Amino acid sequence: MGYTIAEKIFSAHVKGKKVKADEFVYARVDLALGNDITAPIAIDQFKKIGSKKVFDRKKIVLVPDHFTPAKDIKSAEQAKVLREFAAEHNIVHYYEVGRMGIEHALLPELGIIEPGKLIIGADSHTCTYGAMGAFATGVGSTDLAAAWATGSSWFKVPKTIKFVYKGKFKKWVCGKDLILYTIGKIGVDGALYKAMEFSGAVIDSLSLDERLTMSNMAIEAGGKAGLIAPDDKVFDYLKIVNARKYKGKAGQKQFISDVKRWKSFSSDADAQYEEVIEINVSEIEPQVALPHLPSNTKAVSKVKKMRVDQVVIGSCTNGRISDLRVAAKILKGKKVHPKVRCIVFPATQAIYLAAMKEGLLEIFINADAVVSTPTCGPCLGGHMGILAAGERAVATTNRNFVGRMGHKDSEVILSSPAVAAATAIKGYLSHPDAV
């Protein structure tokens, strides 16, 4: 019997054995991530267990991205905890305001994420990195603390559900629509503690940005990970983001070393799956997830004209440069509806700079949108776009639970950047063709 991607990655991280689904393993981790909400708890636990030294200062990542730039004294103190811990342990991958970005967009951009790696993060959307062939999953802060101390963590190797996408896209349909449709099909617990493996010709055709969007939302179906077998798009991307190392003879030596390290795990033809689900994308229109679950999905054309108060374009789900280009294409030469607040936040400083050089920021500002520094703030109702009672937002984020972006009596509708931009112009939930 063959092995799935998940089983192969765990087998590579457990000494001396090959493992199968449902086995409990103590596995070596390659990267352990925390942010300004979850890492302070982990740091406290790290100290309480008496640890004096982290297992590897190069394999810990700290990104203050949720309440930064600090919105109040408490958030400033949270960020300070990270800053001091990073300095004390000489953490290589600590990214301060000005150099940071939303963690799940920043790490791939920096070349830190590699295929075949086992990655944990005290943030549920750590599953994003599965788009690059890594097994990446969210853990609790106490598990993160233990991993910082030991370099390993306990796991139950998950069974895998294979999703095979076929057909041709309709206009405006993108990776966000595919994952919303998928979650709507199986439910928010349809892949509970399962690895979701996305495959098929349609996945092969997606850009890496769109794949990252899909893997990012695996957790919204209960998934432990969202895996895509790495291909040339992944390896070409890694070559680009690591290009600064590849100059001269030393750089070429580093390049050869990196290529050998990048492991391309794919599932065997006779791998055993929990289930195989085929989806014909030809039937999919631009999707939205209505309140208050990511699984409450419908084609936007089938939804009545729902008035909105705010539109948010950005996040670790859809704040990459390709997302901003789509939004700018629709907003160019138009105005945000006078009764709508439109907030655009590029996911990293590099994306912000690229958007500025391409003139996208000028388009957004001329359309009467506001452009924010990279932050997770609006997505979790932290800052930079909190909703009041009775308000409704359309957002390119990943969750629309009760009170997710503010007051418990507010509402969030999830969409792609194209639907969000069209909605900002019209003032009510709209198909991109409507503008």
Helices (H) and strands (E) in the chain, counts: 15, 18
| Closest by CA position to 317, among listed 242, 400, 194, 434 | 400
Q: Given a cut of 90, is residue 247 above it in pLDDT?
A: no
Which has the higher per-residue pLDDT, 107 or 1? 107
> 338 and 367 in contact (C-beta within 8 Å)?
no
Q: How far apart are alpha carbons 146 and 151 in whole angstroms?
A: 8
Q: What is the DSSP letter of 285?
A: P
Tokens representing 240 are 């680009």
Q: How far apart are alpha carbons 82 and 84 in whole angstroms?
A: 6
**pLDDT reported for residue 35:** 96
Query: 373 and 301 in one domain?
Result: yes
| Closest by CA position to 217, among listed 41, 49, 397, 425 | 397
| Closest by CA position to 231, among listed 259, 264, 253 | 264
Domain boundary among 255, 283, 311: 283
Strand partners of residue 196: 161, 226
Q: How far apart are alpha carbons 393 and 342 in whole angstroms?
A: 10
Q: What is the average pLDDT score of the chain?
A: 95
- In total, how many domains does the chain have? 3
Q: Which residues, including other chains, have CB under 8 Å from residue 374's CB and lie 6 or more apart?
A: 65, 100, 101, 102, 105, 319, 345, 346, 347, 348, 349, 351, 352
- Residues 262-317: tens digit of each pLDDT: 888 999 999 999 999 999 999 999 999 999 999 999 999 999 889 999 999 999 99
- Asked whether residue 317 is domain-assigned, the answer is yes
Domain boundary among 156, 180, 197: 156
Query: 315 and 274 in one domain?
Result: no
Tokens representing 158 are 């998950």
How long, in residues, is the chain? Answer: 435
Query: 297 and 395 in one domain?
Result: yes
Domain boundary among 131, 156, 181: 156
Query: 179 and 298 in one domain?
Result: no
- Asked whether residue 349 is domain-assigned, the answer is yes
The CATH number that applies at residue 170 is 3.40.1060.10
- Asked whether residue 273 is domain-assigned, the answer is yes
Q: How far apart are alpha carbons 398 and 295 in whole angstroms?
A: 11
- Residues 21-73: tens digit of each pLDDT: 999 999 999 999 999 999 999 999 999 999 999 999 999 999 999 998 999 99
Q: What is the DSSP letter of 185?
A: H
pLDDT-based confidence at residue 203 (cuts at 50, 70, 90): very high
Query: 84 and 122 in one domain?
Result: yes
Provide, rounded to the nearest whole percent, the portion of the chain with pLDDT above 90: 90
Query: 322 and 217 in one domain?
Result: no
Q: Given a cut of 90, is residue 253 above it in pLDDT?
A: no
- Asked whether residue 8 is domain-assigned, the answer is no
Q: How far apart are alpha carbons 105 and 102 in whole angstroms?
A: 6
Which has the higher per-residue pLDDT, 278 or 244? 278
pTM of the predicted model as reported, rounded to 2 decimal places: 0.94
Range of the domain at 403: 287-434
- Asked whether residue 19 is domain-assigned, the answer is no
Q: Given a cut of 90, is residue 256 above it in pLDDT?
A: no
